[in-house]
């Protein structure tokens, strides 16, 4: 899985497809979050294995999804404020936040693979500089309204945390 799709290639090739055929979802699962420690290195694990890693910068938040995998990831203060609203304090470090963001999502299938010139799993370069493995059945998503980045969500965690808005 050494083949890497750059951020630019993702946006150039897939963003038009996401805008045209992506399905609108809302994150429904709350998260736990705390201020990240500058320099704190986080490895994100999902039910299918290692997803990515990132090192916190000043002002970042450490977010923990409330899923079976309890995946943790780093979010910049700017993105955190756009995507989450304070709900309640859990303890002296962690608080619970309700999601407020929506995304357009595209399931990875053979057609997606071919558009990117791939015939199996591959890596994408995420907006934070880390790499994320992508396989058939995963979701490539772009946050609304900006549609300025694309990242991967594992299929199992996707269905545990998002709700399809177009089926309501």
What are 44-54's pLDDT values in tens digits?
999 999 999 99
**Total count of domains within the chain:** 2
Q: Which of 12, 21, 23 is nearest to 103 (CA)?
A: 23
pTM as predicted: 0.92
**CA atoms 131, 153, 97, 67: torsion sign:** negative
Res 160: pLDDT: 94
110 shares a domain with 151:
yes
Confidence tier at 70 by pLDDT (50, 70, 90): very high
Give the three-state DSSP class for 107.
Answer: strand
Both 17 and 54 in one domain: the answer is: no
Residue 126 reports pLDDT greater than 70: yes
pLDDT at position 2 over 80: no
Helix (H), strand (E) counts: the chain: 5, 15
Range of the domain at 78: 29-99
Query: What is the tens place of the pLDDT at every residue in 143-154?
Result: 999 998 999 999
- Identify the domain boundary among 72, 99, 126: 99
Listed residues 51, 66, 99: the one ending a domain: 99
Strands of 57-121 (E only): list them: 61-65, 72-75, 84-89, 95-99, 102-107
What would the mean pLDDT of 75-104 be, rounded to a whole number?
96
Residue 92 and residue 107 share a domain: no
Mean pLDDT of the chain: 94
Q: Are 96 and 90 in contact (CB under 8 A)?
A: yes
> Quick one: pLDDT at residue 87?
97
């Amino acid at each position: 899985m050494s083949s890497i799709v750059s951020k630019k290639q993702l946006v150039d090739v897939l963003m038009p497809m996401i805008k045209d055929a992506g399905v609108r979802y809302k994150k429904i699962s709350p998260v736990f979050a705390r201020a990240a420690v500058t320099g704190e290195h986080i490895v994100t694990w999902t039910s299918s294995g290692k997803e990515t890693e990132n090192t916190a910068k000043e002002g970042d938040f450490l977010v923990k999804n409330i899923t079976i995998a309890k995946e943790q990831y780093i979010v910049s203060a700017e993105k955190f404020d756009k995507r989450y609203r304070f709900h309640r304090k859990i303890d002296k470090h962690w608080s619970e936040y309700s999601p407020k963001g929506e995304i357009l999502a595209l399931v990875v299938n053979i057609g997606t693979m071919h558009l990117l010139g791939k015939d199996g799993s591959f890596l994408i370069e995420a907006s934070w500089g880390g790499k994320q493995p992508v396989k058939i059945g995963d979701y490539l998503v772009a946050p609304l309204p900006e549609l300025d980045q694309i990242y991967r969500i594992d299929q199992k965690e996707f269905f545990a945390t998002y709700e399809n808005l177009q089926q309501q």
